[in-house]
Structure 1
Amino acid sequence: MNTQPILFCGDPHDRFDHILRAAELLNPMAIVLLGDIEPEQSLHLELTAIDPQKLWFIHGNHDTDSEQNWHHLWGSQLAERTIHGRVVELPNGLKLAGLGGVFRESVWYPGLQSQARFESRACHARSTPRQDRWQGSVHRKHWSSIYPDEFKALAIQRADILVTHEAPGYHPNGFEILDDLARSMGVKLSVHGHQHDRLDSSHRWGQQGFKSFGVGLCGITAIDIDGHAEVIFSGDLDHQPHLPGA
């Protein structure tokens, strides 16, 4: 493992002590939060001991559950460290891409709907009653919905690592379209949160064309571009029986 690892942090749900400890002990190149962050105070205050240039995040569905959750993330001084819908370059030259949020039937749910109900957040906002709009846009919860235009904008870019909140197709609750996205972008590694488990998907890697990892609830895994993974902190549910069909 690289002497300066990339740490992927499963859904913190307002728990950050383990992330602060890992940052202090390992001096990582980058720390990537995989959504459902839910800080009790602005994120930059929760992680003030960490160099902000090392921090990256995507949002999860619970990050729009309340006004507090929204403000503590998007109103934080670290809001610019989101990689949702974009590609950034890490100090070692690797390109990191992100897709936060979740698929929702009321917007777009691949495999269930043949077409999305709304192509973009702006399109959705136009049909949202004024009293239901948040920050002049869609209802607050839909700030964590995935829209097709965001997906398509990523698909034409190139990256080495793709982080998503939703799981790709290997997972019983995952989405094959995220496999398509990873292949379109040419990524070698895909990492996700959301499902709170850490299933072994290595049997699918050849079929997928990339290596995929889930990081458990409040877990931290260091993963390099070759797919070598080291669990730094086990997720809370890692030792529970795997889901049926896994």
Structure 2
Amino acid sequence: MTNECRILFAGDPHGDFAPLIRAVLTQKPEAVVLLGDYDLEKPLQDYLRPIVDVTEIWWIAGNHEFEHPDKHRYLFDSSLADNGLHLQVKDVAGLRIAGLGGIFLGRVWYPPNRPRWKSKSHFLSQQPSHVRTAGLSLKYQAAIWHDEVQRLKQLDADILVSHEAPRSHRHGFIVIDELAAALKVSKVFHGHLHEHYTATIRAGIKVHGIADRMVADLNGHPV
């Protein structure tokens, strides 16, 4: 294992975890970080049995995890549920990694437009009683909420992993640039858009877009 391979980043698997498993068994990293959109038909650990005892497995959710209750359950009720990085900073193989899962949703917040709701509780407070009792639907659980991003900005990290892209991608969002700068990270890794590229944004932050089913090292190079 080279130093660059001590952490690997896996682009959207969409049900195909074979490339990740091969990369882990070859490189023996200390940890892997999955960038969302798993399309699970069984619990996540069942796909990753060949590597669960080889490396640490961390993840953020994409948007596909909220398309159906089973897809959601197979991730959030899996034995790897506690390894989610969303809205947290965790020490992973000696680096502080911050996570932002989900997507921007027009009915909640679609930058550069102002957020429609201050928070989840604000949204629910304006809904009929039966909606408040049921809680957020999966659609709304997939959304990125303004107040949560603001809280995440108060932390410090070395790397940001997100499903959505910063403005380095033509379909990215300046909010991700601003979050990366506030966190003082040196690198951003994102999935979702199925393109492999490297770019530089404000403050010299490197952005690595990781294509679907691709596995990359800390320099954004395919492995």
TM-score (norm 1): 0.84
- Following superposition, the deviation at residue 103 of structure 1 comes to 0.6
* Distance of 1:147 and 1:102 partners within structure 2: 9
- Please provide the CA RMSD for this pair: 1.9
| 1:87-118 deviations in Å (ceiling 9; x for gaps) | 000232x100000001111000111x2x2112
- The letter for the 2-side match of 1:138 is L
Kept after mapping to 1: 8 A contact 2:98/2:157: yes
Kept after mapping to 2: 8 A contact 1:122/1:137: no
The equivalent of 1:220 in structure 2 is: 215
* Secondary structure of residue in 2 paired with 1:150: helix
- Following superposition, the deviation at residue 200 of structure 1 comes to 3.6
The equivalent of 1:170 in structure 2 is: 168
The equivalent of 1:122 in structure 2 is: 121
Go from structure 1 to structure 2 and tell me whether the alpha carbon gap of 1:186 and 1:2 turns closer, same or farther (over 3 Å shift): same
Aligned residues: 221
Kept after mapping to 2: 8 A contact 1:38/1:73: no
| 1:186-219 deviations in Å (ceiling 9; x for gaps) | 0001010011111342xx34x4431111000111
Kept after mapping to 2: 8 A contact 1:179/1:208: no
* Secondary structure of residue in 2 paired with 1:184: helix
The equivalent of 1:28 in structure 2 is: 29
Kept after mapping to 1: 8 A contact 2:166/2:173: yes
- Following superposition, the deviation at residue 129 of structure 1 comes to 4.6
TM-score (norm 2): 0.92
- The letter for the 2-side match of 1:192 is H
**Highest RCO, 1 vs 2 (Cα 8 Å, sep ≥ 6):** 2
The equivalent of 1:39 in structure 2 is: 40
- The letter for the 2-side match of 1:120 is S
* Distance of 1:78 and 1:136 partners within structure 2: 26
* Distance of 1:178 and 1:104 partners within structure 2: 14
Go from structure 1 to structure 2 and tell me whether the alpha carbon gap of 1:66 and 1:180 turns closer, same or farther (over 3 Å shift): same
| 1:14 and 2:15 matched | yes
The equivalent of 2:204 in structure 1 is: 209
Kept after mapping to 2: 8 A contact 1:124/1:138: no
Kept after mapping to 1: 8 A contact 2:193/2:211: yes
For residues 1-246 of structure 1, the aligned pairs below 5 Å read 1-2=2-3, 4-51=5-52, 54-92=56-94, 94-111=95-112, 113=113, 115-129=114-128, 136-201=134-199, 204-205=200-201, 207-223=202-218, 228-232=219-223
| 1:17-55 deviations in Å (ceiling 9; x for gaps) | 111111111111111010111211011211122237611
Go from structure 1 to structure 2 and tell me whether the alpha carbon gap of 1:140 and 1:4 turns closer, same or farther (over 3 Å shift): same
Kept after mapping to 2: 8 A contact 1:193/1:216: yes
* Secondary structure of residue in 1 paired with 2:90: strand
Go from structure 1 to structure 2 and tell me whether the alpha carbon gap of 1:229 and 1:60 turns closer, same or farther (over 3 Å shift): closer
| 1:208-234 deviations in Å (ceiling 9; x for gaps) | 4311110001111111xxxx33211xx
